[in-house]
C-alpha cells in the first residue's frame, strides 16, 4: 500500500527508504536530544539516554524512557538536563523537569524551555515497512540505523504486564 504525503500528491512507498533520505537523516538527528539524570552528586554519576519532542496540546514536551530518568522523577527532585548538539563539548545543556512517567511502560515525559519541531507518531505500521532508528547508543550521539519492521506483537516484559511491541531488524543498542 501507498500513502500520500500531506504536502504533495506524490505517493510514497513505506516499504522502501524515502527518496529524500539524506535530508530525513539530517532533520531527524536535529530533533534527538540526550537526556541526563544525575543519580549521585558525590560520585558524579549520571544516567543518559535519548529523548525526542512530541506535541501535547499546545506544548512541546520530550519523551524518554523511565529507566533514563529513574531517580530524577521524584517531585521536588525532578531536574534533568537536555543536551542539544553533537557532543558534550560543543553542544548546549538546557534544564528540564520530569513531569510524568509510567514505569510499567518504561516511559517518561519532560518539560523544558527547549522548543523543537515535534515528531508525529504513526499507528499505520505494517510488517516490512522501512524504519530508521536515531539515538545516542553507548554515548554515540545522533547515531542512525536503518531496517524494516519484522513483526508486530505483544510481549510480557519483566517489569510490567503485556505490552504492544514492534520488532525491527534495525540495530537497536542501549540508548537508541
Phi-psi region of 21 (alpha: psi -120 to 50; beta: other; left: phi over 0): alpha
* Phi, psi values for residue 74, rounded to 5°: -80, 130
Which pLDDT score, from 0 to 100, does residue 168 have?
92
Which pLDDT score, from 0 to 100, does residue 7 have?
57
In angstroms, the CA 21 to CA 105 distance is 31
Which pLDDT score, from 0 to 100, does residue 122 have?
83
Stated pTM of the model = 0.82
Which pLDDT score, from 0 to 100, does residue 24 have?
92
Q: What is the pLDDT along the chain (176 residues), one digit of tens a residue?
A: 444 445 556 678 899 999 999 999 999 999 999 999 998 888 888 889 999 999 999 999 999 999 899 989 887 889 999 999 988 899 999 999 999 999 888 899 999 999 999 998 888 899 999 999 998 888 788 899 999 999 999 988 776 678 788 899 998 877 66
Which pLDDT score, from 0 to 100, does residue 3 have?
42
Amino acid at each position: 500500500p501507498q500513502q500520500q504525503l500531506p504536502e504533495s500528491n506524490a505517493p510514497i512507498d513505506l516499504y522502501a527508504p524515502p527518496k529524500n533520505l539524506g535530508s530525513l537523516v539530517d532533520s531527524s538527528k536535529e530533533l534527538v536530544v540526550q537526556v541526563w539524570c544525575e543519580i549521585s552528586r558525590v560520585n558524579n554519576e549520571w544516567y543518559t539516554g535519548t529523548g525526542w519532542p512530541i506535541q501535547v496540546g499546545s506544548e512541546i514536551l520530550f519523551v524518554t524512557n523511565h529507566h533514563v530518568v529513574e531517580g530524577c522523577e521524584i517531585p521536588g527532585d525532578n531536574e534533568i538536563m537536555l543536551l542539544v548538539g553533537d557532543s558534550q563539548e560543543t553542544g548546549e545543556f538546557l534544564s528540564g523537569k520530569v513531569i510524568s512517567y509510567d514505569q510499567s511502560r518504561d516511559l517518561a515525559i519532560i518539560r523544558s524551555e527547549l522548543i523543537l519541531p515535534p515528531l508525529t507518531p504513526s499507528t499505520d505500521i505494517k510488517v516490512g515497512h522501512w524504519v530508521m532508528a536515531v539515538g545516542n547508543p553507548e554515548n554515540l550521539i545522533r547515531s542512525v540505523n536503518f531496517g524494516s519492521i519484522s513483526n508486530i506483537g505483544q510481549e510480557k516484559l519483566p517489569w510490567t504486564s503485556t505490552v504492544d511491541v514492534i520488532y525491527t531488524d534495525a540495530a537497536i543498542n542501549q540508548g537508541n
